[in-house]
Amino acid sequence: MAQLSLLNITGQDTVRQRVQTLQRELHSHAHRYYVLDEPIIADAEYDRLFQELLTLEQQHPELITPDSPSQRVGGAPLAQFATVAHTNPMLSLENAFAPNDLVDFEERLFRFLQSRTPITYVTEPKLDGLAVELVYENGLFTLGSTRGDGLVGEEITQNLKTIPAIPLRLLTENGEAAPKHLEVRGEVFIGLTDFKKLNEARGGAGESLFANPRNAAAGSLRQLDPKITATRPLDFYVYGASDPTALPCRDQHALLKYLGGLGFKINPLVHLCQSISEVIDQFAQLQGQRQALTYDIDGMVVKINDFALQERLGAKARSPRWAIAAKFAASQATTSLLAVEFGVGRTGAITPVAILAPVQVGGVMVSRATLHNEDELRRKGLMIGDIVVVQRAGDVIPEVVKPVMENRTGQEQAIIMPTSCPECGVTLVRVGQEAITRCPNPDCPAQRVRSLIHFAGKSGMDIEGLGKKAVEQLVKEGLIQDIPDIYQLGQQAPGALADLDGWGEKSAENAARAIEASRAPTLTRFITALGIRHVGEVTAQLLARHFTSLARLCLAGEADFLQIEGIGEQVATSLVDYFQAPETTEMLARLEALGVCVQEEKPGAEADGVLAGYIFLFTGVLASLSRSEAKARIKELGGQIASGLNRRVTHVVLGDSPGSKLAKAQELGLPVITEAEFLQFVNR
């Protein structure tokens, strides 16, 4: 449970700000972890932030927005691949961190089922790889995709075909026909020995090393050239089916045996447990085996064995009720905190970074760890010279957990936050209840560099060849100082680039072509690339759909922004400050003069759809379609989705097991309709 008292949450405005901050940070971290494979925080820190968001949203359901991480499964697929819609969502799992959490899990099942009939479970190692779905037609592998955002994934069929453990044709016994249609799910991974050999080979060839086996597996599957994927030592374990009830199996254990008979690789550590006590024992046993395994695992998956019970239990918005992930404690080590450095982000955020005596944590040498912000630093009570506990949950960037107080000698020194920017010297500020100290100088060189990196990067304009190191080099060489300079450079390249260290004619020509190709971005991509504070991809999409052109967006006032469902006062103020700033006006004018033409957003069916003017809010679980499908249908027909209960809502849709929103809706006198009545609305 998040320690909310430590966050000084005292009023509704502050709670709203904290929820918005958590949503924004979780979206960013999920995008980096699931889409870019560039995580910057440990899994344990992500879990802590997510639990805090869930707690706040449970206490204040009116603050839940349609794009909240609690309402979705995960990050969006990469644009380079074709997309595949999953027949049934690939949901994520709730987490358990202690034996008591598993006992609580079973108690929730008993309450939902209104029965205490003993339940059997199937457990299996939770591999740290990449989840995929494989589709077989008449026994032949025809389509493969990543999990993506759970509803839509990336089509990677040819890459998956290079993995020897994935059968291209299903095995059948005694002349039996293969299933006409089969959708299976499993995990692609790289074993530890193979991972070590792969990195040794890359190091010998002068190539960058993969951070961990999961990043290596994900990066291998996302190669546009299957020939490259074929050179990677990828492996695969199957763990289930999209619709197991369509197969001749009544439970999970039988399903795995059946899939093994069709030629799929089944994890040998799958175990059938007759009680939750046996599950807990199995978890302890698996934790003891962890270091001896030939592949990475970060926990154990627990599933109800009986498919009939699974079907009765169903799913919540983002996870099934009948399964849970029992997570191992993060890998930890102790070391000395030698110093603290303070970095400057693209929005001016000052981030303290711990400089550590190098130490092995989870098989990786660690010498730096983020401390996030001043509040987090104070909460942990750290001092320079402390012996500290460091952890790497999920084998990503480490964090400092706490100081070892009993090891203090009295020689430790207090960590003093700077009062002026370490890059430009301007006095730092901390606004209101924000946890972040910032440099307010828009001309701060560190902010400019990081803004350029964001603009050109994958989250922005995705200009190939202008990655972090390239942008830093171009700034150092004086070739670019701001965003328009990128397009000024594009007119001069490749001549201006070819003679730089590490470039050459080919890379310079590629960069020039990429800059040229980015001159006509969509409005959504352009807004996202600008890196406006509090404005991510989802908000950029809302703005693009509402204003449809950059000119109209630039002329909008705070009241115009507040009309958009999902945009609050904090975002509206940030947008006004940005677009009314003289430097923004000058920058946009320079971009236009350099031939950058932001494309107008084409209004969709929502502009004049049959549900135009209607605003829907859901409470409870829908039986005939998922919440995401219902919302997508509303948007297609011109309707809106409410982020919380208010008098603008025209219809509250009632599903099974409704929450507190129902009573509040009745108090407000809002129309409440059944799922059947809602379907009549969208199908008329």
CATH topology agreement for domains 331-419 and 445-517 = no
- Are residues 51 and 1 in contact, defined by beta-carbon separation less than 8 angstroms? yes
For residue 13, what pLDDT is reported?
64
Per DSSP, what are the bridge partners of residue 621?
Answer: 656
Residue 222 has pLDDT above 70, yes or no: yes
Instruction: Tell me the mean pLDDT in the region 53-59.
Output: 84
Residue with the bigger pLDDT between 160 and 77: it is: 160
Give the model's pLDDT for residue 229.
Answer: 84
- pLDDT above 90: residue 277: yes
The least confident of 40-54, 340-354, 612-626 is 612-626
pLDDT at 340: 94
Structure tokens at 256: 């795995």
Query: What is the model's pLDDT at position 14?
Result: 83
pLDDT at residue 395, as a whole number = 43
pLDDT at 6: 33
Q: How far apart are CA 423 and CA 430, in angstroms?
A: 17
Exposure of 512 by Cβ count < 10 A (0-12 exposed, 13-18 middle, 19+ buried)?
A: buried
Domain residue spans in the chain?
Answer: 1-69, 85-327, 331-419, 445-517, 523-593, 606-683
Q: Is pLDDT larger for residue 2 or for residue 44?
A: 44
CATH number attached to the domain at 445-517: 1.10.150.20
73-109 pLDDT, tens digit each? 434 444 467 888 888 888 888 888 888 999 999 999 9
User: Mind listing the pLDDT tens digit for each residue in 509-527?
Assistant: 989 999 999 999 999 899 9
The least confident of 16-20, 90-94, 410-414, 431-435 is 431-435
Between 648 and 292, whose confidence is greater? 292
pLDDT at 263: 86
Please give the share of the chain, as a percent, with pLDDT higher than 90.
39
Which residue has better confidence, 301 or 499? 301
Active site residues: 126
Range ranked top by mean pLDDT from 332-336, 593-597, 599-603: 593-597
The CATH number given to 1-69 is 1.10.287.610
Identify the CATH class of 606-683: alpha beta
CB neighbourhood size of 84 (10 A) = 20
Percent helix, strand, coil in the chain (nearest 5)? 40, 20, 40
For 559-568, write each residue's pLDDT tens digit. 999 888 768 8
d(CA 219, CA 331): 24
Summarize the confidence of residues 345-362 as an average pLDDT: 88
Percentage of residues of the chain with pLDDT beyond 70: 87
CA torsion 151-37-31-512 (nearest 10°) is -110
**CATH classification (class only), 331-419:** mainly beta
For residues 40 and 233, the model is more confident at: 233
CATH topology of domain 523-593: DNA polymerase; domain 1 (1.10.150)
Contact yes or no for 342/422 (Cβ under 8 A):
yes
Average pLDDT estimate for 145-166: 87
Q: What is the pTM of this model?
A: 0.47
Which superfamily does 85-327 belong to?
DNA ligase/mRNA capping enzyme (3.30.470.30)
What is the distance between the alpha carbons of residues 652 and 616, in angstroms, rounded to a whole number?
A: 6
376: pLDDT strictly greater than 70: yes
Residue 219 in this model has a pLDDT that exceeds 70: yes
Task: Tell me which of 215-224, 267-276, 320-329, 462-471 is least confident.
Answer: 215-224
Please answer whether residues 620 and 661 qualify as being in contact, where contact means their C-beta atoms are separated by less than 8 angstroms.
no
pLDDT at 530: 95
In this predicted structure, the answer to whether residue 549 has a pLDDT above a threshold of 90 is: yes
Average pLDDT, the chain: 84
Q: What is the pLDDT of residue 211?
A: 67
Answer whether residue 608 shows pLDDT above 70: no
